Amino acid sequence: MNVSTRSAFALRYPSLEPTEEMRLLVVDDDSAILKLIARILRDDAYAVDTASTGEEARMLALVNEYDGIILDLQLGDRHGFEILQELRRNGRRTPVLLYSGLADTETIVRGLDAGADDYVVKPISNEELRARVRTLVRRGVGSSLVGEQVTVGNLTLNRLTRRVTCATKEVSLTSMELKLLEHLMLRAGETVTRNELHEKVWDMHFDPSSNVIDAHVARLRKKLQKAGASPAISTRRGMGFVFGATPITPSHKTT
């Protein structure tokens, strides 16, 4: 991608700095399927970007860091194999799940040989999709600096099962509250600005002038206080939010 192309693209898709949060890219030229998959994954508290063309997917995948890519094989402008092969040629090791209505052995083998980590045949149930994605991102987590489990104080977040526990008691959170907490835990002890939360946690088209972030932080703070979590979320007026001062304790589970 040349400089002028990158600059024009950045105006539409603000480039995301590498982040430890679970961020996925879903690619499908069927808008209904694209919205459905994105909703399912967002409900599981993943941050999800979407692309409806092969070219859009290629540019997003080359500009941003993702924990996994769910790629439809038969796109209108480019074949999924082409996109996958280009990502691998450019050194992108992002785990990729190919999905398609093509169930013949030759196509499946070709996709896996091209560098895909998994291949599923449509239609796929919501629960199987969730399980496949959990397995997909586990491959990336295995080599990342931040492990499957993150602990701050007496609060623990399992980044694969998306469960939060305070001591040994599970804390019930909405998908957005979970994404918000994940980001704050990964930046424990540091000031996190509203602009950063807008870029890293909310969708690209979120209106940063609204008070939605403050409202979510207030609800999350209340739930954590009720659960007896320590440390707590504090507000630094004019700056942002801080989740305690306890260092993050990352861990990789072994099986």
The per-residue pLDDT for 9 is 34
Question: 236 with 242: CB under 8 angstroms?
Answer: yes
Dump pLDDT digits (tens) for 164-190: 999 889 999 988 898 899 889 888 888
- Classify residue 5 by burial, with Cβ atoms within 10 Å: 0-12, 13-18, 19+: exposed
- Name the one residue in this structure whose structure tokens are 């104080």: 153
* Helices and strands (DSSP H and E) totals, the chain: 9, 13
Amino acid at 109: V
Q: What would the mean pLDDT of 145-149 be, rounded to a whole number?
A: 61
Tokens of 79: 């074949």
**Position 195 pLDDT exceeds 60:** yes
Exposure letters 76-109 (e unless 16+ CB within 10 A, then b)? eebebbebbeebeeeebebbbbbbbebeeeebbe
Q: Which part of the chain is CATH 3.40.50.2300?
A: 3-141
Q: What's the pLDDT band for 198 if we cut at 50, 70, 90?
A: confident
CATH 3.40.50.2300 for the 3-141 domain, yes or no: yes
Q: Is 131 helix (H, G, I), strand (E, B) or coil?
A: helix
The per-residue pLDDT for 144 is 42
The per-residue pLDDT for 147 is 60
Q: How much is the pTM?
A: 0.60
Q: Which part of the chain is CATH 1.10.10.10?
A: 149-251
Q: Which CATH architecture has domain 149-251?
A: Orthogonal Bundle (1.10)
Dump pLDDT digits (tens) for 41-99: 998 888 899 999 999 999 999 888 888 999 999 998 999 999 998 888 887 888 999 99
